[in-house]
Amino acid sequence: MKEKIRIASGQGFWGDLVDAPYKQAAGGPVDYIMMDYLAEVTMSILQKQKLRDPALGYARDIPPLMERLLPVITEKKIKVITNGGGVNPLACKDAIFEVARKIGIKDLKIGVVLGDNILDRIDSLVSSGVPLKNMETGEPVSTVKDKVLSANVYFGAGAVVECLKLGADIVITGRVTDTGLTLAPMIYEFGWDMENWDLMAAGTVAGHILECGGQASGGNFLGDWKSLPDLARIGFPIAEAYPNGEVIITKHENTGGRVSVDTVSEQLVYEIGDPKDYITPDCIADFTSINLEDVGEDRVRVYGVKGLPSTPFYKVSMSYSDGYSAVGSLTYSWPDALEKAEAADKILRTRLEDLGLKFDEIRSEYQGYNACHGPLAKKIDDLNEVVLRVAVRSGDRKSIERFGMEIAPLILTGPPGVTGFAGGRPKPSDVVAYWPALIPKTEVQPEFLVESL
């Protein structure tokens, strides 16, 4: 058993700093790099890509990243774990092998975790008594079943651990939880009992801290953000994990940002719901039991975490088509910028009503005044400029298309001092809605394999 391992955060979402994984590998000692690419909407995007091309459906940033990363992780014996396989982890595996052949990397083992995609099983599951009802509204899945785009089970760390046991250098997964990507190497390296709920919770908390990339090391920090050094060169967080479940959050030396009790605390309260019951496939973590302590520059000790047994359910993340939307904007200048923008919005709404168009929702906001604060915004008497932004949503595509035709005419048929119209008419975009559900763990099992180059 190792005395400790260092797990580096490499991505917080698909679209994060593309060089971050390489800098984590090259910037100092690490044993693992975890890369979280997935959000609920990401799965539906990837599913659409796979339908258009069976070779796609994974985070396409991964192959070009691997061209830089593979030589470093091979030399340093760093393992990589990522859920960037999306809805097609096998194709992602093949793409990485292709990169490895291209640059002359040999003796590479890639593990793949499968089984989370249940899109083609929805009918049979419902017929067998699994309701897949919406966790938030209680609606039956039958109301959206014919419009479902993706359906993926949130697996935990277990199958990733099995891939590591089989010698995988890289593990590519589908919808494995963000926290499971960090918990898995702790279980594997320290031989943790997966029914030791305190240890599972400790690893889960570490994973929650790493999952959003630079957010734990000063990015998006609400505290004294002005005091943070060199965010342009922010260092992503690293979890220095120990067999007893204690973790020190740190980052590489000579990188920007800061790791402190404050920055780590802010990340800990990100998207947790009930802090006493943070539910994952691996355990229930009690975030109220977490202790934090500054133990040096950019070093925060995390300890005392308590956990409870995991539930008998997996969460299912489903997405479905829910009509169309479009957004248009115009900028109005001083004087009377806000008054002009409000008048333009009234004119637009009157014209849409006169046309008899059908919308489920129309929203207007005045950027520079109330876009962030809505009705809580303080009245400002003399704004330099305001951006009128109007968004519409409807199941009727023709109504959305006609809305797009009504924005530009406001330039010559509405209030004066207008600019900022470019890029053509707003076009309809597909609206993808989220459907959370539960499925008994007995109904679905993760699968895994390991292949060598």
What's the confidence (pLDDT) of residue 40? 76
What's the confidence (pLDDT) of residue 1? 85
Q: How crowded is residue 364: how many other Cβ atoms within 10 Å of its Cβ?
A: 17
What is the C-alpha radius of gyration for the chain, rounded to an integer number of angstroms?
Answer: 25
b (16+ CB within 10 A) / e for 407-436: beebeeebbeebeeeeeeebebeebbbebb
| 369 falls within a domain | yes
What pTM was estimated for this model as a whole?
Answer: 0.94
Per-residue pLDDT of the chain (453 residues; tens, 9 = 90+): 899 999 999 999 999 999 999 999 999 999 999 999 998 778 888 988 888 899 999 999 999 999 999 999 999 999 999 999 999 999 999 999 999 999 999 999 999 999 999 999 999 999 999 999 999 999 999 999 999 998 999 999 999 999 999 999 999 999 999 999 999 999 999 999 999 999 999 999 999 999 999 999 999 999 999 999 999 999 999 999 999 999 999 999 999 999 999 999 999 999 888 999 999 999 999 999 999 999 999 999 999 999 999 999 999 999 999 999 999 999 999 999 999 999 999 999 999 999 999 999 999 999 999 999 998 998 888 899 999 999 999 999 999 999 999 999 999 999 999 998 877 899 999 998 999 999 999 999 999 999 998
The answer to whether residues 283 and 343 belong to one domain is: no
The answer to whether residues 48 and 187 belong to one domain is: yes
Q: What is the DSSP string of 90-114?
A: HHHHHHHHHHHHHHT--S-EEEEEE
What's the confidence (pLDDT) of residue 380? 87
What's the confidence (pLDDT) of residue 391? 98
Return the sign of the alpha-carbon dihedral for residues 102, 105, 108, 111.
negative
Structure tokens at 327: 């957004």
Q: How many domains, in total, are found in the chain? A: 2
The answer to whether residues 163 and 286 belong to one domain is: yes
Range of the domain at 268: 5-116+154-311
The answer to whether residues 213 and 306 belong to one domain is: yes
The answer to whether residues 234 and 330 belong to one domain is: no
What's the confidence (pLDDT) of residue 421? 84
The answer to whether residues 247 and 360 belong to one domain is: no
Q: Is beta strand 5-11 parallel, antiparallel or unpaired with respect to 32-35?
A: parallel
| 128 falls within a domain | no
What's the confidence (pLDDT) of residue 379? 84
What's the confidence (pLDDT) of residue 325? 98
What's the confidence (pLDDT) of residue 381? 82
Q: What is the DSSP string of 319-372?
A: EEEEEEEEEEEEEEESSSHHHHHHHHHHHHHHHHHHTT---SEEEEEEETTTTT
Which residues on neighbouring strands pair with residue 451, listed in sequence order?
110
Long-range (24+ apart) CB contacts under 8 A made by 49-52 are: 50/87, 50/88
The answer to whether residues 80 and 170 belong to one domain is: yes
Q: What is the DSSP string of 14-26?
A: TTS-TTHHHHHHH
The answer to whether residues 66 and 158 belong to one domain is: yes
The answer to whether residues 257 and 372 belong to one domain is: no
295, 273 contact by CB (below 8 A): no
What's the confidence (pLDDT) of residue 19? 96
Which residues on neighbouring strands pair with residue 171, listed in sequence order?
81, 111
Chain-centre distance for alpha carbon 66: 20
The answer to whether residues 78 and 184 belong to one domain is: yes
Give, in order, the Cα–Cα distances in Å from 51 to each of 54, 56, 88, 150: 6, 8, 11, 11
CATH number of the domain residue 346 falls in: 3.30.70.2750
- Give kind and range of the element (H or E) at residue 400: helix 397-405
Return the sign of the alpha-carbon dihedral for residues 18, 22, 24, 27.
negative
